[in-house]
Structure 1
Amino acid sequence: MQATKHLPREGALSRGAKPPGAPQPRRFDPRAMLSNTEMQAALGSGLIMLLAWAVGGWSQILSIVLYVISYTIGGWIKAKEGVETLIKERDLDVNLLMIAAALGAATIGYWNEGAMLIFIFALSGALESYTMERSKKDISSLMALKPATAVRIEQGAMNEVDIEQLSIGDLLLVRPGELIPADGLVCRGESAVDQSSITGESLPVEKSSGHEVFAGTVNGEGPLYIEVTKAAGNTLFARIIKMVEEAETEVPDSQRFIKRLEAVYARVVVGTTLVLMLAPPFLLDWSWSDTFYKAMVFLVVASPCALVSSIMPAMLSAISKSARKGILFKGGLHLENMARTAVVAFDKTGTLTEGVPQVTDFIAGEGYDERELLMVSASIENMSRHPLAEAIVRKAEEEGLELRGVQDSKSLTGWGIEGTVDGKSWRIGKSNLMDELSSSPVSVDLEQWMSTRRRLEGEGKTVSLIMDGEQIAGMIALQDSLRPQAEAAVRKLQQLGIKVAMLTGDRSATAEAIGAKTGVDLIFADLLPEDKVAHVQALREQYGHVVMVGDGVNDAPALATATVGLGMGMKGSGAALEIADVVLMNDNIEEIASTIALARRSQRIVKQNMIFAVTVIATLVISNLIQGIALPLGVVGHEGSTILVILNGLRLLR
């Protein structure tokens, strides 16, 4: 916390409007379904159809009037969509086929059958529309959590401002129950923050001074003073909204194929219907009424409604379920690709590990005081922002050491850093310098130092040297701790028959040690960003579809090269999140296996739906041509199959 910040006393807090509270889990709500406009139109059409049937016995004219109203209410939306497709794209779609079939049934006196067709077709369309709305709400419900204003503290005074006016370094007050308006660090206060809207975590996370908080999350029971660290347009929340917008425009390959098939298939159905209406009276000596009736039945049962509805409800349900667990897909295409995963490749640092190295061993050479040497090392490393340097500084602070001033500090590219402390020059950097020193005499037992290095690297640690001139003064071993769920995440992937690879820029010994602890199948070490790309390409050629998991800028090229790039949302870099196809908002890599399993399940449901739809269409068409079936049976069989495939896709929402 900066010294210039002026914090009001606790008693000065004033309560605002009723807090919005945390977003609640979304469950099936019949009222939400009934509020859907298409559902209201479908149900209205059905009720008027029943009324028309009931009055048909005593007033034929009134019955027909009611049927016309039923047709209009139930078919208006679909007829409009069909006409727009015909005018804009100059193509036929399933909507026009159904309207034509209903009108055809009416022209030969089958008003009730036509109305039933309209009703069930409208009902299935409303169900699909509801599915899509429900899924989009599950993905983007956090958009409603976008805070509009923030309470900014300036010279001890509190002012309410638009979040667009916030700048990095501003001090904000967030009262209990309010939305946190910006990404930042807690300066003062303690509270449990509900992050479920972003990470999917079911329990609030305790926050206190120094902890990071995110825009769009809900403060708990205590006031928090937060220093803004990111502008409004660059927050984690803003990036998520951008991902959601991308997800709504992405269409899976299978759906594109069905849309192309629908256009061709619709023309074939119309052409065949015209042939069935004109040819049989001349070739088979059928009556014109029987011919027209069978043609109308064919038009109904041959339409691809169920086939068209086989994919998107299942896809959207799976994406929706993933979003509730904190996994955001940028479109159905990536869900489809993830189902085909053969290899999951992990970057090591920040993915399989926490990404925060810690000093595990500090060894002072003969004649050097350990605390004095640590103080000197931390003073010099304090000039650097490298993660290893920050770990050494943290170690000195934990030991209660006071850092000293450094003169002539200079970065040694590709090796380390040097500086002068109390008139004495020191260098700290990679231990590979020992390989060069072995060719010249030194004043310490070099073999002993090299033996120590081999032991430490064998334990998976990164080793740095402290050089006093040309003499080795000490050695520092650092290690990045494994994520608690890393081993379980790898094991679950392997249980799905997926190979697990680890790609890292670390030395082979460190990589082998981490690989042994996690149980990965393939280890690739000493890699530059372009090397990671080459290995991802090789894995794709050898095994097939590859999911790459990473969090840093150096992972971005590999994420783009993989079949599916999966970015870490909480600590991932902006570049990694931009390029990733899927974002793991809670950084829980254990969820990757369950996400792949869900993707595979969605693909199984899509296949079930498509096989079922084709089977029903073929059965009804053949039955109509060979023996003839009643129009009501054709309506129920065809539209019933459409409703069933939609409901089958909705199972994934459970």
Structure 2
Amino acid sequence: MNHAIQQVNESTEQQQIRQDGAAGKMELLKRYGEGIAALASGLIIAIAYMLENASHPWAIALYVAAFAIGGFVKAKEGLSTLILERDLDVNLLMIVAAIGAASIGYWTEGAVLIFIFSLSGALETYTMDRSSRDISSLMDQKPESGILIKDGVETIVPIEALKEGDIVLVKPGERIPSDGVVTEGASAVNQASITGESVPVDKTMGDSVYAGTLNGEGVLFIEVTQESESTLFAKIIRLVQEAQSEKPASQKFMERFERLYARAIILISLLLIFVPPLLLHYEWEQAFYKAMVFLVVASPCALVASIMPAMLSAISNGARKGILFKGGAHLENLAGVKAIAFDKTGTLTQGRPVVTDIMPLPGYEESEVLRIAASMESLSGHPLAKAIVLAAREREISYHRPTDFTALTGWGIQAKVDGEQWKVGKPALLSEQNRTESLTTMIERLEREGKTVSILMNEQGAVGVFALRDQVRPEAKLAIARLKRIGMEIAMLTGDQERTARAIGQELGIDHVYAGLLPEDKVEKVKELKQRYGKIAMVGDGVNDAPALATASVGIAMGAAGSDAALETADLVLMNDDTGRIADAIVLGKRSRTIIKQNIAFALSVILLLIAANFIEGIALPLGVVGHEGSTILVILNGLRLLRQREIF
């Protein structure tokens, strides 16, 4: 019995290996098949050309084989457009031109046309495939299962079965199965698939981790915070799918133009076949040949290939830097942006206050003031309270739980520490008789610096002053400087108070600061900026930023820290929350616009030059083929330049 089971298992394994091998071969064929067919077509043409007589049956048979092998993919695409959409495209024009040339004895010229056309098509397919692989390679990194810890028992379950609150074990070298928080253990996690960071990030208890990222040498126990379909990884995959399917306005226009242009070329070619022999006494063969040359040189292959390869190359380049465009249209819009509006909290700042100043009044030490304040605040969940407690921990100052704790709603708290009654909160808690001139001056100075002030006091009066402020992100100042260097106007929109906003704006070098804004006010400010500057971008991370992101010409969301609403609304996502990458994205948009303009100008020039040469002097079909298809290959190669990594500063 065991032997039979073993045989069944071995048979299943062998079958799986065969299936994997077949799938791998199909993938290779799909990726390189068009290029292999083009090269095989070229080899067959070379063999046929070496035969002394081009009309020899063997030579003709080889040319027919070259036509079939090299032209199959394009003929299929052209016929599909004709049958399903009842329209013409450039693929059908080229096939008709090649068959037309062969029908009057120009087998070599027709076959060469097929070869070069299929080669340029293979190159374009490679561009699309390369860009697609660069953007969506992270899909291959999607974890399939995780180790669930329940009642002390380890069970391997599909990621779809993981629920919020579950505890999973991640061993060294394994992928993290779901977004979560580390509850036990320490390790370095490679987050490149999510944030683009090349250096692994140390993770310990309390740190957030993301599905699809790779654990290092340590063991981690993680509490699941998002189910599989809601993880950041799943969101990225959805964004990738949108980016691959959405076309920019210029490409949509080009496709409409291609259909109309193809009809016009067919009509003019028919006129060139019939009108000269009937009215100008041309020979039929001569007229037909000139019409075939016209059909080749006037076809818009290079024009059609001017946009999408360049766009996808740029999107691919951005993805490798942690800049995820949701489609080429947004890259196109970004190229025209003149101003950028930033949300403050969580975008330019870290989104959590920290203690910047501790000022004990005469008779008290800094450590004592901080110990008493941290003891009181240890029972509060307010962000300012958490900042004071964190400051005590960082200085290794021990504190203990207070007694008789009471919240003074809107003002602060009061409690007993070591049997003595204390209060901590807003300066307004101080009575007028306890406000000395030096204390008032100190509070006013700190508030002018954009800091929030908390006072620690006992029954006799104030004993210490705490100043807190949301800290500027380390990369924010450099990001603003880089944007100004490329000519961007910078504005900051925040719901924070005017004084704090001005202080942050001054520190970062932002000229236009708008404070005290509700979400609807941010939308109005974005509209005003659009009227003043034209296209503008809005950068944000919170739910309250989503309306403004949608209103802007380009909405930019912080990917790692951003809310679901911001991620869904935005057109561009910064996967590593690095605002410095915004300048890279804008420069990438401008580079892609420049290259597309170069491509279109070059393609049009070649088409017009070849058409003029055909009518004025008459050009040989091989020369027309080389000129036309050569220009197509050149514009694709020009677009491929955007795949190169290039730092702007």
Letter matched to residue 221 of structure 2: Y
Letter matched to residue 205 of structure 1: V
* TM superposition score normalised by structure 1: 0.87
Structure 1 residues 365-390: Cα deviation after superposition (integer angstroms, max 9, x where no partner): 79999878766765675566543342
Structure 1 residues 429, 547: CA separation in 2 closer, same or farther (over 3 Å shift)? farther
- Aligned structure 1 segments of 4 or more residues deviating by more than 6 angstroms: 31-34, 364-373, 422-428, 466-474
Task: Work out whether residues 359 and 478 of structure 1, in 8 Å CA contact, stay in contact via their aligned partners in 2.
Answer: yes
Query: Where in structure 2 are the equivalents of 1:380-395 lying within 5 Å?
Result: 385-395=381-391
What is aligned with 2:17?
none
Structure 1 residues 420, 400: CA separation in 2 closer, same or farther (over 3 Å shift)? closer
Letter matched to residue 140 of structure 1: S
Task: Work out whether residues 378 and 392 of structure 1, in 8 Å CA contact, stay in contact via their aligned partners in 2.
Answer: yes
Letter matched to residue 239 of structure 1: K
Structure 1 residues 43, 427: CA separation in 2 closer, same or farther (over 3 Å shift)? farther
Secondary structure of 1:53's match?
helix
Secondary structure of 2:468's match?
strand
What is aligned with 2:587?
597
Letter matched to residue 402 of structure 1: H
Among 127, 133, 150, the alignment partner of 1:131 is 127
What is aligned with 2:514?
524
Mean CA deviation greater in 588-597 or 255-264: 588-597
What is aligned with 1:511?
501
Letter matched to residue 95 of structure 2: I
State whether structure 2 residue 639 is matched by structure 1 residue 644.
no
State whether structure 2 residue 295 is matched by structure 1 residue 293.
no
Letter matched to residue 77 of structure 1: V
CA distance in 1, matches of 2:596, 2:567: 29
Task: Work out whether residues 56 and 62 of structure 1, in 8 Å CA contact, stay in contact via their aligned partners in 2.
Answer: no
Structure 1 residues 382, 91: CA separation in 2 closer, same or farther (over 3 Å shift)? farther
State whether structure 2 residue 52 is matched by structure 1 residue 62.
no
Identity of aligned residues (%): 56
Structure 1 residues 294, 426: CA separation in 2 closer, same or farther (over 3 Å shift)? farther
Structure 1 residues 640, 471: CA separation in 2 closer, same or farther (over 3 Å shift)? same
CA distance in 2, matches of 1:428, 1:526: 26
Mean CA deviation greater in 142-151 or 522-531: 522-531
Structure 1 residues 310-330: Cα deviation after superposition (integer angstroms, max 9, x where no partner): 011111111101111111111
What is aligned with 2:145?
149
Structure 1 residues 510-551: Cα deviation after superposition (integer angstroms, max 9, x where no partner): 222222221123111222222211111111110111111111
Task: Work out whether residues 44 and 63 of structure 2, in 8 Å CA contact, stay in contact via their aligned partners in 1.
Answer: yes
Task: Work out whether residues 455 and 462 of structure 2, in 8 Å CA contact, stay in contact via their aligned partners in 1.
Answer: yes
CA distance in 2, matches of 1:257, 1:468: 73
CA distance in 1, matches of 2:453, 2:548: 27
Query: Where in structure 2 are the equivalents of 1:156-171 lying within 5 Å?
Result: 156-171=152-167
Query: Where in structure 2 are the equivalents of 1:332-351 lying within 5 Å?
Result: 332-351=328-347
Task: Work out whether residues 402 and 415 of structure 2, in 8 Å CA contact, stay in contact via their aligned partners in 1.
Answer: no
CA distance in 2, matches of 1:496, 1:132: 30
What is aligned with 1:16?
none
Structure 1 residues 83-114: Cα deviation after superposition (integer angstroms, max 9, x where no partner): 22222322211111111111111111111111
* TM superposition score normalised by structure 2: 0.88
Letter matched to residue 402 of structure 2: R
Structure 1 residues 131-170: Cα deviation after superposition (integer angstroms, max 9, x where no partner): 1111111111111000111112233332211111112232
Query: Where in structure 2 are the equivalents of 1:168-567 lying within 5 Å?
Result: 168-362=164-358, 385-398=381-394, 399-404=397-402, 409=407, 412=409, 415=410, 442-445=432-435, 449-464=439-454, 475-567=465-557
What is aligned with 1:115?
111
**Cα RMSD for the two superposed structures:** 2.8
What is aligned with 1:620?
610
Secondary structure of 1:169's match?
coil
Shift of 1:301: 0.4
Mean CA deviation greater in 187-196 or 553-562: 187-196
CA distance in 2, matches of 1:309, 1:161: 46
What is aligned with 1:78?
74
Shift of 1:395: 3.1
Structure 1 residues 484-506: Cα deviation after superposition (integer angstroms, max 9, x where no partner): 22221111111111111122222
Mean CA deviation greater in 467-476 or 295-304: 467-476
What is aligned with 2:564?
574
Letter matched to residue 506 of structure 1: D
Q: Which runs of 5+ in 1 are unaligned?
A: 1-30
CA distance in 1, matches of 2:98, 2:513: 63
Task: Work out whether residues 375 and 399 of structure 2, in 8 Å CA contact, stay in contact via their aligned partners in 1.
Answer: no
Structure 1 residues 233, 35: CA separation in 2 closer, same or farther (over 3 Å shift)? closer
Shift of 1:32: 7.3
Mean CA deviation greater in 54-63 or 167-176: 54-63
Letter matched to residue 539 of structure 2: V
Letter matched to residue 570 of structure 1: A
What is aligned with 1:5?
none
CA distance in 1, matches of 2:270, 2:224: 68
CA distance in 2, matches of 1:32, 1:448: 77
CA distance in 2, matches of 1:43, 1:59: 23
CA distance in 2, matches of 1:130, 1:279: 42
Secondary structure of 2:318's match?
helix
Structure 1 residues 478, 242: CA separation in 2 closer, same or farther (over 3 Å shift)? same
What is aligned with 1:6?
none
Letter matched to residue 450 of structure 2: G
Task: Work out whether residues 54 and 60 of structure 2, in 8 Å CA contact, stay in contact via their aligned partners in 1.
Answer: no
Task: Work out whether residues 376 and 421 of structure 1, in 8 Å CA contact, stay in contact via their aligned partners in 2.
Answer: no
Task: Work out whether residues 333 and 554 of structure 2, in 8 Å CA contact, stay in contact via their aligned partners in 1.
Answer: yes
Task: Work out whether residues 54 and 107 of structure 2, in 8 Å CA contact, stay in contact via their aligned partners in 1.
Answer: no
Structure 1 residues 171-195: Cα deviation after superposition (integer angstroms, max 9, x where no partner): 2222222111122222333322211
Mean CA deviation greater in 400-409 or 545-554: 400-409
Secondary structure of 1:341's match?
coil
What is aligned with 1:95?
91
Secondary structure of 1:161's match?
strand
CA distance in 2, matches of 1:229, 1:569: 17
Mean CA deviation greater in 346-355 or 272-281: 346-355
Secondary structure of 2:214's match?
coil
Secondary structure of 1:592's match?
helix
Structure 1 residues 58, 76: CA separation in 2 closer, same or farther (over 3 Å shift)? closer
Number of positions where the alignment pairs a residue of Structure 1 with one of Structure 2: 615
Letter matched to residue 135 of structure 1: S
Secondary structure of 2:345's match?
helix
Structure 1 residues 26-75: Cα deviation after superposition (integer angstroms, max 9, x where no partner): xxxxx979952211222222222222223363871122222222111211
CA distance in 2, matches of 1:465, 1:482: 24
Mean CA deviation greater in 554-563 or 219-228: 219-228
Letter matched to residue 401 of structure 1: Y
Shift of 1:221: 2.2
Shift of 1:211: 2.4
